Amino acid sequence: MTYYICKYTPVEILDGFGEKYRLYNPVAQDCARADQLIHRNVCSFSRALIETCVKNNSNPIVLTSCCDSIQRTYDVLQAEGHKVFMLYLPHNSQHCSKLVYKEQILKFIRDYAAYSGKKFSCAKFRAAFKQNSQSVVGGYIGVMGARMGEKMLEFIKNTSPLAIRNNTCTGVRNLGNPPLTDDLEELMDWYTDQLLSQTACMRMTDISSRRALVDDPNLKGIIYNTVSFCDFYGFEYAHIKRSLDVPVLKIETDYTPQVAAQLKTRLEAFFENLKVGKNKRQFRYITPKHFQQIYTAGIDSGSTSTNAVILDSQQRIVSFSVLPTGAHVLQSAEKAFDSALNKAGLSQNQISRIVTTGYGRTNIDFCEKDVTEITCHAIGAHFLNNAVRTVIDIGGQDSKVIHLDEDGKVLSFVMNDKCAAGTGRFLEMMAQSLGLTIQQMSTYGLKWEEQITISSMCSVFAQSEVVSLIAADKKLEDIVHGINQSVASKVMALGGRTGMKPEYMITGGVAKNIGVVRAVEQRLGSKVIVPEQPEICGALGAAIIASKD
């Protein structure tokens, strides 16, 4: 088996040799070996590629010089003794560029013949061309951006309410029918032209052909995939976000299984809102007067706390509970639910419906439905104050900024990645370094005198900075203020300056930290609504969904 990674690779040449080949999309459990061979800050796909090639001895592999990271991957794999073919891929598709690439392809034919001992057959080459159109009728969601692993793509296809079109860099590959000739030069002229005339990937100088991908009226939404430490696709995402009015979800993959759970949450939330878009009524709250007194519950199983809310049929909060999430999600959910039931003086059989949300939502088996925390926070915030247009949810391990319209529909949202900066965990780490309790942290920063900047966005480095500030005998109040400013800065970076519109509401446990709230207000230049119980907003949203289903 021969492996390749880029759509510009002349793989049909391998058909000409009668070889089997496969588009390589490796997911590495870890990158232990790659870490020894290449710096961590090169593109994650390259690292996963090195890791799996070295571990599985995947030989031979055909690369193109598609990006800086892949060019270095070639150097590393070569040095490790792998059989790697590398073709220089021009950045342009003009005539002289095609001649250069044609020479590369002809050289590849010679090199592969020498490597395999096989003879190239023009007839086999011509037989390799099959039309690979993605026949999608009607509205669809385009998966765009960088290459995506098969499992993730499969998940998207199975979860999406609309058809999916794979328009990622390796997804769009459609060549024509070759001329009926055995003249190698003539065939390769045609072939090079076909390869370089494909819908351009972002590394090409002229990317105007990419515009057709987003100018389609049937395109109803975009899932935009970026790769950690890849330079290319953030640029196109920014352009799409600015210029298109279809819903766009940006995700970032790193070719390890670890981020899959978080990505699934985002994807589900995105699809939920696409469904809502079809039927706005789902977001309007009805308070039927003729309802008998029935109760519904929402349980938010977060990474730090598990919260439960019980509503009556008039959507009044009957009781709620906030408990730390233990080692077992299900047990924590049961405890939080029991606690809320006890406070309300109710038994479980009086609850007509339960909806769960949060990271652990799918692991709670005593519910009717699970909904992502994005949707639940939006519904909860809209319920608490229907003037809210931006929800800033800072939880224990992650933070989100959710934009709503006047009906409470989610217009867009962003979520932090794996990093802890700007989350409750970040504040806990800093409190620990300063020897303060979380309660002290919430008010200490209000009495600051000197403006201190915590420059590192990485929580580990920021902790070192805090330790240095302590060593420099800086006042605790000033350091805490600097930390609060750092969290606020992270929130602003997450939300983007243009996307955040008043009224603002801050939810999640960190909303109880007055210093952080003030710092966020200062950055926004506006007051921020802090609900009485900010950490139950997600559970409240879930309970509301339960009440209207």
Task: Name the one residue in this structure whose structure tokens are 């509205």.
Answer: 139
237 or 359: CB nearest another protein = 237
Min dist. Cβ of residue 68 to another protein (A): 4
SS3 letters for 118-173? CCCCHHHHHHCCCCCCCCCCCCEEEEEECCCCHHHHHHHHHHCCCEEEEEECCCCC
At CB < 8 A and 24+ separation, what contacts does 312-316 make? 313/288, 313/547, 314/287, 315/285, 315/287, 315/383, 315/544, 315/547
416 or 533: CB nearest another protein = 416
**Is residue 64 part of the contact set for another protein (CB under 8 A)?**
no
227 or 511: CB nearest another protein = 227
Q: Which of 118, 185, 211, 235 binds another protein (CB under 8 A)?
A: 235
**Is residue 88 part of the contact set for another protein (CB under 8 A)?**
yes
Q: For residue 532, count other CB atoms closer than 10 A to its CB.
A: 7
Q: What one-character DSSP code corresponds to residue 201?
A: P
**Is residue 234 part of the contact set for another protein (CB under 8 A)?**
yes
Binding segment (CB under 8 A) for another protein, from list 110-118, 156-164, 227-235, 433-441? 227-235
74 or 359: CB nearest another protein = 74
x/- track of binding to another protein for residues 281-320 (CB under 8 A): ----------------------------------------
108 or 359: CB nearest another protein = 108
Contacts of 35 (CB under 8 A, 6+ apart): 47
Q: Contact at 8 Å (CB) between 112 and 88? A: no
163 or 493: CB nearest another protein = 493
Cα 183 from Cα 235, distance rounded (Å)? 42
95 or 130: CB nearest another protein = 95
Cα separations in angstroms, 446 against 42, 43, 282, 425, 487 = 41, 41, 42, 20, 15
Report 166-205 residues binding another protein (CB under 8 A): 202-203, 205
**Is residue 405 part of the contact set for another protein (CB under 8 A)?**
no
Binding segment (CB under 8 A) for another protein, from list 231-239, 260-268, 323-331, 363-371? 231-239
**Is residue 65 part of the contact set for another protein (CB under 8 A)?**
yes
Report 91-130 residues binding another protein (CB under 8 A): 91-92, 96-97, 99-100, 103
212 or 238: CB nearest another protein = 238
**Is residue 549 part of the contact set for another protein (CB under 8 A)?**
no
Binding segment (CB under 8 A) for another protein, from list 127-135, 239-247, 336-344, 507-515? 239-247
102 or 353: CB nearest another protein = 102
Q: For residue 120, count other CB atoms closer than 10 A to its CB.
A: 19
Return the half-sphere exposure (C-beta side, CA atoms, 13 A cut-off) of residue 339.
17
Q: Which of 62, 84, 152, 230 binds another protein (CB under 8 A)?
A: 230
Q: Contact at 8 Å (CB) between 476 and 444? A: yes
Cα 549 from Cα 282, distance rounded (Å)? 9
Residue 254, judged by CB atoms within 10 A of its CB (0-12, 13-18, 19+), counts as buried
39 or 118: CB nearest another protein = 39
Q: For residue 218, count other CB atoms closer than 10 A to its CB.
A: 13
Q: Contact at 8 Å (CB) between 254 and 227? A: yes
By CB under 8 A, the count of residues binding another protein is: 54
**Is residue 496 part of the contact set for another protein (CB under 8 A)?**
yes
**Is residue 42 part of the contact set for another protein (CB under 8 A)?**
yes
Min dist. Cβ of residue 512 to another protein (A): 28
**Is residue 456 part of the contact set for another protein (CB under 8 A)?**
yes
Q: What one-character DSSP code corresponds to residue 513?
A: -
**Is residue 46 part of the contact set for another protein (CB under 8 A)?**
yes
Task: Name the one residue in this structure whose structure tokens are 């420059």.
Answer: 455
Q: Quote the tokens at residue 79.
A: 């040095």
**Is residue 343 part of the contact set for another protein (CB under 8 A)?**
no
Cα 225 from Cα 156, distance rounded (Å)? 12
Q: Contact at 8 Å (CB) between 544 and 380? A: yes
What is the phi/psi pair of residue 449, to 5°?
A: -125, -45
Min dist. Cβ of residue 45 to another protein (A): 12
**Is residue 207 part of the contact set for another protein (CB under 8 A)?**
yes
Contact set with another protein (CB under 8 A): 36-39, 41-43, 46, 65, 67-69, 71-76, 79, 88, 90-92, 96-97, 99-100, 103, 202-203, 205, 207, 226, 228-232, 234-235, 237-239, 241-242, 455-457, 461, 464, 468, 493, 496-497
